Amino acid sequence: MKKIAVLTSGGDSQGMNSAIRAVVRTGLSNGFEMFGVRKGFKGLMNNDFIKLGSKEVSDILYRGGTFLQSARSEAFKTPEGQAKAIEHLKNKGIDYVVVIGGDGSYRGAQALQRQGIKTYGLPGTIDNDIPLTDYTIGFDTTLNVVTDAIGNLRDTMSSHERVSVIEAMGRNCGDIALQAGIASGVDAIIIPEVKADINKIAADLKAGFERGKSHSMVIVAEGAGKAEDIAKEIKTLSGLDTRPTVLGHIQRGGTPSVFDRVFTSRMGHEVIDLIKQDIVGVALGIESNKITYHTFDEIFATENKINDHLYQVFQDLI
């Protein structure tokens, strides 16, 4: 009987629970023995395994976070740390490990793969910064959280005729800012992939107020700058009352969206299919609404790019 372990690693994201549930339930339906590893690679080194039946993954589909918990571990990057993890897997007779995490976690999965453990990656990060997938797990939910927050800020900015500069997560990737910005009809989007002309942004915002606007919204991706600095600059250049807001960790929480629940269910189902076919060392994604997979090497060799068309859509709508 195949024995399969699943773990969540790196930053958590909404939809990880749904992915775990899908892997476990599909594995059980195929007669496999399923294990969870608590706290990511750290738990793998510390022999922190739990046996997972259907009941253990009940009531988690609609919960944010990850019930297996997540961790970052420097020790796992060392050959000694990886040897410990492999020893525990071998002792339990576990051949397959499904890693739900971001690009760092994929490096860890690849390291295990190279040492004979059959590994799989599911793109668990809100940042949408993994190549060869249109969406990462939690990204869609985060867009909804950010879009709601911008709506709330707009109400109060309107009452006081202010400019709001909102800082969104995403590390070096501007996707959260770009897509939440389009969904919110903001006036300017500042992302690391496109050089911002702050003088033009300030002049456009000023002109908007002169035309009678009661508020203006600017979204900045954390990789492109700090809301506080950008708000100060806009205020100096335009004279407008400009307030910064850092959305912070609120973006990582909340009940996963329908999209995140459905696509993680599909990916969890698909990974068991790949295990049955003994296709190994791959990470899954969703491309043009199809569940796809690529080797870790292919993923690391591909540059993650902003969707230029979407950026153009935004430019044409302001």
Task: List residues binding ligand ATP (CB under 6 A).
Answer: 9-11, 41, 72-73, 76-77, 101-105, 107-108, 111, 125, 127
Nearest residue (CB) to ligand ATP, 104 versus 131: 104
| Distance, CA of 30 to CA of 268 (rounded, Å) | 13
> Least distance in Å: CB of 194 to ligand ATP?
21
Residues in the chain: 318
Q: Identify the H or E element spanning 244.
A: strand 242-246
Q: Identify the H or E element spanning 120.
A: strand 118-123
> Least distance in Å: CB of 195 to ligand ATP?
24
Catalytic residue among 12, 103, 127, 140: 127
> Least distance in Å: CB of 6 to ligand ATP?
15
Chain position whose Cβ is nearest to ligand ATP: 104
Nearest residue (CB) to ligand ATP, 108 versus 208: 108
Locate the DSSP E strands across 48-157. 49-51, 96-101, 118-123
> Least distance in Å: CB of 196 to ligand ATP?
24
Pairing of β 33-37 and β 188-190: unpaired
| Distance, CA of 58 to CA of 246 (rounded, Å) | 34
What Rg do the C-alpha atoms of the chain give, in angstroms? 22
Nearest residue (CB) to ligand ATP, 73 versus 133: 73
Q: How many CB atoms lie within 10 A of CB 47?
A: 14
Dihedrals phi, psi of 255, to nearest 5 degrees: -70, 135
Nearest residue (CB) to ligand ATP, 230 versus 299: 299
- Is 187 assigned a catalytic role? no
Catalytic residue IDs: 127
